[in-house]
Amino acid sequence: MIRALVMVLLTALAALGVVAAEDEEPDPSWVCPEGFQGQQINVFNWSTYIGETTVSDFEERCGVRVVYDVYDSDDMLINRLRQGNPGFDIVVPSDVGVLTLIREELLEPLDYSNLPNFANIGDAYKNSIFDPGNKYTIPYLSGTIGIGYNATAVDEPITTWDQFFNYPGRVAWIDDSRSMISFGLLMSGFDPSSADPDEIAAARDYLIAHGDNVAVIAGDDGQELLARGEVDAVIEYNGDIFQLSVDCACDDYVYVLPEEGTAFSSGFIGIPVDAPNPLLAHAFIDYLMDPVVAAGIANYTTYPSPNQAAIDAGLIDPVMLENKGIYPDDAALQRLFYLVIPPEAEQLHSDAWDEVKIALSR
């Protein structure tokens, strides 16, 4: 539906001479620094978190090869790096993952002399509580974790976590300890980032008690289960659900920010310790911050971009900018929270989530 609406709008604007023809779409102004011809960069990213031609365009501009590998949770990324970097030059952790990676000294400090396009990032996204001063990471995309459902499969709109956790049909949860335990804490009346062992235990018990309708605990592919009709509703990132609407050009799939509140998530780009090619990694990060490149990623993934230059230049699809599920308004922002889990509680959250999965597997 989103892409269909955008195409209708752009067609109308083109008829008025407001936008350029398709073959006149802007090209990135970014020029690859010299000296990288024939080199390789290894990227480790989420599976649905890049533009359709982002990687191939970079390869062509620099004359390099990009080896692109994917993961489906921060836990997987962190555990891989804890065992020693197997050769990744670029990683894209979420906000809570950034805290852990910095604390465990698994990210390299960035060299801003090689990142002039950082000036394009909006001030509101800089200097986050997860990486003060952006010493290790650059804001990439942002989003929320909420409820996606098939409107043709449910009897009434789902607007709350209470409805979801008590839904009589089949649902999928996301396999992410931080998010799921936070939702259990929220529904138990506690701080979603609680470090209290008793409160975390209560969150565990809530999830176990409300797990009878869980068909799958999914990785980063809950939207695919929804599209195949294997479940009626999922816990997923907003961009993944909006991509379903784009792909089917329909309004069957609905994404909601639950009334009780939900987690706001930001993705960051960083360079892991022992990266084989940190100079080319800096070039890749700077390329991603070009306004045209950033807009292409945001428009394709349907995740909000922190690139203010892209927004100011009118490069972000206007229908997306007006969609409160993608770019939340002030009222929606009041219901969002960051997960800032204290270090001493991370293992408690992880253990509680393992106990939930073991209980549901029985």
User: What's the average model confidence in pLDDT over 82-88?
Assistant: 97
pLDDT at 179: 92
What confidence tens digit (pLDDT) does each residue in 294-308 have?
999 999 988 899 999
User: What's the average model confidence in pLDDT over 303-319?
Assistant: 93
**Residue pair 179/198 in contact by the 8 Å Cβ criterion:** no
Whether the predicted pLDDT of 5 surpasses 70 = no
Whether the predicted pLDDT of 309 surpasses 60 = yes
What confidence tens digit (pLDDT) does each residue in 113-146 have?
999 999 999 998 899 889 999 999 999 998 889 9
Better-scored residue on pLDDT, 322 or 59: 59
User: What's the average model confidence in pLDDT over 20-31?
Assistant: 63
Residue 338 is given by DSSP the state -
Distance CA(138)–CA(269), nearest Å, equals 5
Whether the predicted pLDDT of 47 surpasses 80 = yes
Percentage of residues in the chain having pLDDT higher than 70 = 93
Of 37-51, 129-143, 333-347, the least confident: 333-347
**Residue pair 336/328 in contact by the 8 Å Cβ criterion:** yes
- For each of the domains in the chain, give its residue range(s) and CATH number, in order of start: 34-142+265-321 (3.40.190.10), 144-264+328-361 (3.40.190.10)
pTM of the model: 0.75
47 CB neighbour count, 10 Å cutoff: 14
Length of the chain: 362
Distance CA(236)–CA(1), nearest Å, equals 19
Whether the predicted pLDDT of 19 surpasses 80 = no
Q: What is the DSSP string of 238-289?
A: HHHHHHHHHHHTSS-EEEE--TT-EEEEEEEEE-BTT-S-HHHHHHHHHHHT
> Residue 84: which region, alpha, beta or left (left: phi > 0; alpha: psi -120 to 50)?
left
Of 25-39, 126-140, 269-283, the least confident: 25-39
